[in-house]
Amino acid sequence: MTAVPFQRFLDEQREPVFRFLVASVGRDGADDCFQETFLAAMKAYPRLRAGSNRRAWVLTIAHRKAMDHHRARKRNAIPVEDLPEVAHHDPPLQDDETWARVRALPPKQRAAVLLRYAGDLSHAEVAVALECSPDAARRSAHEGLKKLREEMSPTP
């Protein structure tokens, strides 16, 4: 028995495969799975043995593509219906005087304080950014904070 041309095979199997995929993965995923099914079938079609049940063969491929789809969805983010009305962010910085004092620090101290506390970097990461040792980064941040405390503490 001679194999039918792939286009005729596709035309014959299009509806049952698509119905199966819609039932398996839903309308949203069915189009992608359908394309993947027939691409895989087209690659393997020349090796299909004569007399094989072509519908069972292509539905087996479709089932595997549907399973792949379900596995992939487990790795994706799950959409939610309701989003919170208010996003939770840190409050905006209002103390311009404090930031003006930070900007007035000596360059190494200013950079260490900003990277460590505004940038939330570790002392080791600050050291890499400033091209110094972690101890030097820690010391610069400490000296900067010490100077800020002295300037901002109320005088008795």
Q: pLDDT tens digit string along 88-146?
A: 555 554 567 777 788 788 888 988 887 787 777 788 888 887 889 999 999 999 999 99
What is residue 7's predicted lDDT score, i.e. its pLDDT?
Answer: 93
Q: Is 140 within a domain?
A: yes
Distance CA 62, CA 41 (A): 9
Q: Average pLDDT, stretch 28-51?
A: 93
Looking at the chain, the whole-number percentage of residues with pLDDT higher than 90 is: 36
> Structurally, how many domains does the chain consist of?
2
Q: According to DSSP H, which parts of the chain are helical?
A: 6-44, 54-75, 96-103, 107-113, 123-130, 134-152
At 73-99, the pLDDT tens digits run: 877 666 667 766 665 555 554 567 777
DSSP single-letter state for residue 46? G
Instruction: Give the position of tokens 């005088």.
Output: 155
Q: Is 82 within a domain?
A: no
Residue 145's domain comprises 96-152
Q: Are residues 62 and 122 in the same domain?
A: no
**Of 75, 104, 122, which closes a domain?**
75
What is residue 44's predicted lDDT score, i.e. its pLDDT?
Answer: 94
Residue pair 21/33 in contact (Cβ under 8 Å)? The answer is yes
Q: Is 146 within a domain?
A: yes
Nearest of 65, 80, 46, 58 to residue 10 by alpha carbon = 58
Q: Are residues 66 and 123 in the same domain?
A: no
pTM of the predicted model, to two decimals? 0.49
Q: Is 43 within a domain?
A: yes
Q: Is 105 within a domain?
A: yes
Q: Is 83 within a domain?
A: no
Q: Are residues 11 and 71 in the same domain?
A: yes
